[in-house]
Chains A and B, each alone.
Chain A
Amino acid sequence: MRDYFALNASILYWTFLAPFRGKALRIAATFHQMVRIGVQAVPMTALTSLSIGVTLAMQGAHELSRMGATAFVPDLVGMSLLRELGPLLVGVVVIGRSGSAITAEIGTMKVSEEIEALEVMAINPVRFLVVPRFLAMMVMLPTLTVFGNYIGLAGGWAICRFSLGMNTDAYIRRVVESAHVMDLYSGMIKSIVFAWLIATISCLYGLTVRGGAEGVGRSTTNSVVVCILSMLVANALLTAFFFVVES
C-alpha cells in the first residue's frame, strides 16, 4: 500500500512538476502507448459494446412488453449504458488487453535488469515507462467509453428498429430525452477513475515483479484480479456517491 501511494506521488511529480524543471514528457512514447491502449482496442470495444447494447434491448423488450411498455426500451438501454455498463465493460476490456500487457511488459523488463539499467543511466523508470502509459490510459479509456456508448446505443437501436418496429427518429429522440447530462458525466467520471486505477495498479505490479518468468506470470494474474476488483468496488462507491449528490 505504501508502494502504491509512493508510485502515485511519483507519477504526479513526473507528469505535472518535472516538465517545468526541464524534464520533458515523452510525447512520442505517450502517443505510441495511446495507439496500443486505445486505437488497437477499438474492434474489441465495439464488439463488446454492441453485444451488450443488443442484449440490454432484448432483455428490456422482453420484460417491458408484458406491461406493454416497450416504448421505454431506449430509456433503459441509454441509462444502463451511460451510467453503469459502458464504463465498466470498456474497463474490463482494457484491463484484459492493456492492464495485463503493461504488467507483463514492465515485469519482464524488471526481470531482465532493464529497469535497473535505466536507473543506472540516471533515467527515472517512472518518467520513462510509467508516465506515458498512465497518460495514454487517462486519455484513451474515457475516449473508448464514449465510443463504446455510441456503439451500444446503436445495438439497442437495431433491436428497437427491426424487432420492435420503432422508427429511428423516435429511438434517438427517446434516448436523448431520457438521458440527462448527469448520466453522461457520472459515466465519464467513473471511467477516469477506472483509468487511474488500471494504470497505477498494473504498473505497480509490473515494477514489483520478483523472480523470473514465473514471477511475471504471477504478477500479471494478480494485477488483472486486483484491477477488476478495485474497479468494481470503486464503481459501487461512485454510484452511491452520485445518488447522494444528485438527490
Chain B
Amino acid sequence: MSEPVIEVRDLVRKFGNRTVLNGISFTVEKGDTMIIMGGSGCGKSTLLRHIIGSMKPTSGSIRIFGEEITTMPQRDLERLRLRFGMNFQFGALLQSLTVGENVALPLIENSRVDPEIVDLVVKMKLELVGLTGFEHLKPSEISGGMRKRVGLARAVALDPELLFSDEPTSGLDPIMTAVIDQLTLDLTRKLDMTAVVVTHDMVSAFRIGTKMIMLGTGPNQGKIIAAGTPDEIRNSDVPEVQQFINGLPDGPTPLKLAREDYIDRLLDSGEEP
C-alpha cells in the first residue's frame, strides 16, 4: 500500500522478572488508524510509551518514519517528536498554566509564530474539541473529560502527521465520545493523519479503526493474540477476542479465580503471585 509510519519488531520489555511486552510486532501505514485493545494491565499504555520513546525496550526495534528510535540520541528524538502529537490518558496538562496556554505551549516553544496567530490557533483547536471560551480556566477548574479534550487539542496543535491517543474517550459521555471519534476520523481520513489509539471502548474502536491489534492477558501476557481489520477482528475465532468485543463476563479470561486457586492464594498470602 503506502510506506509504513510505524514499524515495531519483536518488542520485549521486562520489569524485573515480569515480562510486560513479549515479542510484539506490527506495522502502521500512512493514513491508518491503528487500535490497540486489551484488558486492563495488559501493557497497552506501556506499548504506547515505547513507541513515543519515553520508555526503552529490553530488546526489539521500533521505527517511526523509517528511523530507529530505540537507539536514537535525545536530540534526534526531539526533532522526530515535533512530527507527532500525544494525547495522554488523563490529559497531562500543566496545572500551572491555563487551558489556552497549555494548547499554545507546543506552538510557542517549538515554532516561531506571531502571538496573534498562536491565539487564533488556540481558539481553533479548542473549537475542534468543543471547548470554546474555556481558555482562561486552569486545568483544576474543569472536569476530567474536559481535560482530556484539552489534551487532544494540545496534541493536534502543531498539526502532527502522527497522533497517539491513550484512551481518548474513557470517562466521556456518549455524545462527546462520538464527537471525539468524528474528530479523529476527520483528521485521519481528510488530512491523512496517521493515528494510534489505545482504547477498550469497543463502539468507538470499531467506529474509527482501520486496523486493530489485541494484546492478551494471563498466559498470553504481552503478546498479540489477534490482528487485522475491524471485520477480521469481529469475525475472529480467537475466543478471548470474542469475549472482549462482546463484553462477556465468562470465557477464556476468567473473571474470578477457580475455587482451588483462590484457596491457594489465600493461604499463600504475603507472597506476590
Contact = CB atoms under 8 A, between A and B. Distances in A.
Interface of A: 108-109, 112-114, 116-124, 128
21 contacts: A108-B95, A109-B94, A113-B89, A113-B90, A114-B93, A116-B88, A117-B86, A117-B92, A117-B93, A118-B94, A119-B54, A120-B86, A121-B109, A121-B110, A122-B78, A122-B79, A122-B81, A122-B110, A123-B105, A124-B78, A128-B109
Interface of B: 49, 52, 54, 78-79, 81-82, 86, 88-90, 92-95, 105-106, 109-110, 154
A167 B7 CA distance: 83
B270 to A, nearest CB: 21
A119 B52 CA distance: 10
Contacts of A124: 78
Closest 3 CB pairs of A and B: A117-B92, A113-B92, A122-B81
A122 B107 CA distance: 11
Given A121-B81, A121-B105, A114 B110 contact: no
Contact of B54 (A112, A116, A123): A116
A222 to B, nearest CB: 23
Contacts of B86: 117, 120-121
Contacts of B54: 116, 119-120
A109 B96 CA distance: 10
A37 B49 CA distance: 35
Given A112-B95, A114-B93, A114-B95, A121 B106 contact: yes
B102 to A, nearest CB: 9
Contacts of B109: 121-123, 128
A120 B90 contact: no
Nearest to A112: B92
